[in-house]
Amino acid sequence: MPRESHTSSTATTRRPVLKTLAATGAVGALAATTLGADERHTGGTRQLASLDEHTDTVHTVETRIAEPSTNPNRPTDFFYEPTGLHVQPGDVVRWRFVTPDHNVVSMHPAYGMRRRVPLGVDAFSSPLLGFEADSIPGDMVDPPGMPGEDEPEANATATTTTSTNATTTTSTNATTAASPPNAGPVPATWLLAFDTPGVYDVICSPHEGFGMAMRVVVGDDTEAPFETSDPAALPEPRLGPVGLSRITLTDPALEPDAIVDAGTVSWLDLQANGGGDGDDGEESDGDDDTSTGTETAS
C-alpha cells in the first residue's frame, strides 16, 4: 500500500489561522458524502476507502494555508497544491489534509452550482476534513500546530515511483521537511478515482471565497463546456464560482491545455500569484513558497 512521506505547509500557520478557519468553516460544509466499505461509485468517479487494490497512478494534492495573506481581501491564503493537475482515466487523486477545515466539492447542479464537470458525471464531495481523530489526544483542548511546522526544511525534488501496487506522482520544485513518525497530528486523506475524461473544477466550500479552487483534467479532452478565461463572463455567484475563486479558475495557467502541457500547475504558477507573465500579485489568490511531498510505496 502506498505510503506518503511527511510534507509541510510553507508558512507558519498556528492558532490565529486556525481561529480564522473555525470562523469561516461554518459557512462551508456542503453535502459531505460518506465512503462505503471499499468504494462508492458516483458516475464518472469512484470514491475509494483505501489504495489496497488500486494498480493505477496516484496523484497527491495537499490542502495548504499560508500567512501573511498576499491579498487584502482574505485573512490568509488557502489553496490546493498543486492547483492544476492532469491525470489519465482510472487514476486516483489523493487529497491530503495537511491543514484542517477543508473539503473537496465538485461544481455541480446538485449543490446549486452550474456544472463545471463533464456531462454525465454525478456530484461528489468529501466530508469536511482535517486531522485523523485518533491522532488527537482525548484531553486536548486547543487545536495542534500544523504537522512539521517547527521542522527544518531541506530542498528536495519530488519523484515518481513505481511498485506492484501503484505508481505515485507529485509536483516538482518541492521543498520537504522530515518528521519522525507519530509526531503530532496525522493528516486525513480522501481518495477519488477519475474515470470519465474531461475538465473538472472543484472548490473548498469553506474557503471558496478566498480563492481555494482547483482544476483536474482527465485524459486529453480539454474542451471545457464552461468559461475558463474571463472572470467577467462567469455566471454570477452562486451559479458561478464565488469571490476570489473566479480569479483562480480563469487564470491562464489553469487553462485545460496548459494543465495538460505542464502535468501539474503549482499555486505559484498562477499569474494572479506572480507566476508566468503575471503582475505583482495585487489580484492574487496567492501564497508564499509551497512544497509537495513525495509518495513512496511499500
- 135 contacts 256 by C-beta, under 8 angstroms: no
* pLDDT tens-digit series, residues 180-218: 455 689 999 999 999 999 999 999 999 999 999 999 999
Report whether the peptide linkage leading into residue 82 is cis, meaning its omega lies within 30 degrees of zero.
yes
Q: Is the CB of residue 190 less than 8 Å from the CB of residue 166?
A: no
Interior angle at CA 281, CA 108 and CA 204, nearest 5: 25
Residue 141 CB contacts under 8 Å (≥ 6 apart), including other chains: none
Q: Which residue has the cell 446549486?
A: 112
Which sequence spans correspond to the domains of the chain?
Answer: 2-297
pLDDT digits (tens, 9 = 90+) for 69-109: 777 787 888 999 999 999 999 999 999 999 999 999 999 99
Residues 234/228, Cβ–Cβ less than 8 Å: no
Percent over 70 (pLDDT), the chain: 65
Mean pLDDT, the chain, as a whole number?
76
pLDDT the model gives residue 139: 93
Coil/strand/helix, residue 64: strand
Written as nine digits, the cell of 122 is 454525478
Q: pLDDT tens, 115-154? A: 999 999 999 999 999 999 999 999 999 988 765 444 333 3
Q: Using CA atoms, how far apart are residues 187 and 182, in angstroms rounded to an integer?
A: 11
Structure confidence by residue, pLDDT tens digits, 259-297? 999 999 999 899 888 776 544 434 333 333 333 433 433
Gap between the Cα atoms of 194 and 201, Å rounded: 13
CATH 2.60.40.420: does it fit domain 2-297?
yes
Q: Which alpha helices (DSSP H) does the chain contain, by range?
A: 15-25, 245-248, 256-262
The dihedrals phi and psi of 22, each to the nearest 5 degrees, come to: -65, -40
> Which residue has better confidence, 74 or 160?
74
In this prediction the pTM is 0.75
What are the DSSP calls for 186-250, one per residue? PBEEEEEEE-S-EEEEEE-GGGGGGT-EEEEEETT----SS--S-GGGSPPBTTB--TTHHHHTT
pLDDT of residue 40: 65
Alpha-carbon distance of 9 to 68, in angstroms, equals: 13
What secondary structure letter does DSSP report for 131? Answer: B
Greatest Cα pair distance in the chain: 52
Measuring CA to CA, which residue among 116, 62, 64 is closest to residue 85?
Answer: 62
pLDDT-based confidence at 53, cuts 50/70/90? confident
β-sheet bridge partners, residue 264 = 85
Which residues, in sequence order, are bridge partners of residue 58? 92, 168
> What residues contact residue 257 under an 8 Å CB cut-off, 6+ apart?
222
Per-residue confidence (pLDDT) for residue 41, from 0 to 100: 65
Cell readout for 63 is 490542502
